[in-house]
Structure 1
Amino acid sequence: MESTELEMERMEIIRQVVETDSRELLQQLKEVVDAWRGKREDVDFESPSLQYTVEELKQKIALSEAGKGTPGSVFFETMKRKYPFL
């Protein structure tokens, strides 16, 4: 995979995380990332309990892009303060 494709995928994932307004989903994501980085070993990668289906996430993204919900810039600033490594 080319570095530009990899960077585009990273940005898409970051955009989806920034636009997520579910604290529970973000906590689950943090646990998985912590496990990948070696901070935790008890996260089950085989069967994560996901709160939304892909279609539900697409609907939430559409609502966010339509201006309904927390703006991504506000959410990202909050995340940057909470997680400075972003």
Structure 2
Amino acid sequence: MNYPIPVSPQEMTALRQKPVNEELVAAAIAGVIQIARSQGQSLDELTAEVLAEDSVLDQAQRRWLSDIVAQAWNILPSIEAVGSISVS
């Protein structure tokens, strides 16, 4: 199954209606990066948001997610050309 990369906060919210799987998570991460870039955020700013305290993830999970976001940030231009995510 392929998910389009969300390009707006509304599209990100709509993902909540989908069953969670690897492709949905990858699309959500790509969407967060695209939205952050469209708002002029840097990778450092986005990473700081991911690492901020919250009640959902513990510190180790936030660090792991920030590493994944940083990796995705660096490959996103190739994903952008495709417009959707497919995880094999």
Shorter chain as denominator, the TM-score bin is 0.3 to 0.5
Structure of larger gyration radius: 1
Which structure would you say has the larger RCO, counting Cα contacts within 8 Å and 6 or more residues apart?
Answer: 2
- Using the size of structure 1 for normalisation, the TM-score is 0.33
- Using the size of structure 2 for normalisation, the TM-score is 0.33
Bigger helix fraction? 2
